[in-house]
Amino acid sequence: MSKAVLKKGAKNYSGKYVAIRSFKNTEVLSSGSDPSKVLSIAKGKGAKDPVIFYVPKKGAVHIY
């Protein structure tokens, strides 16, 4: 069974990169369209190794 990483407010981050402290502490530290800036802001907030991921826009098709 998978566990949701971003439980609340996912629609607020649609089409953006999001940085959280870790998979155990899912506090959102930063978000935006540039992943390097999102990472930099998260590290500036004291996250040693933050988790960065992309929240796709609703209805978008992604092929991996």
DSSP assignment of 20-57, as one string? ES-SS---EEEEES-HHHHHHHHHHTT-SS-EEEEEPP
CA 18, CA 30: separation in Å to the nearest integer?
A: 6
- The pLDDT value recorded for residue 61 is 84
Q: Output the pLDDT for position 7.
A: 67
Structure token digits, residue 62: 């992604």
pLDDT in tens, 15-59: 999 999 998 998 999 999 999 999 999 999 999 999 999 998 888
Q: Which residues contact 27 (CB under 8 A, 6 or more apart)?
A: 20, 21
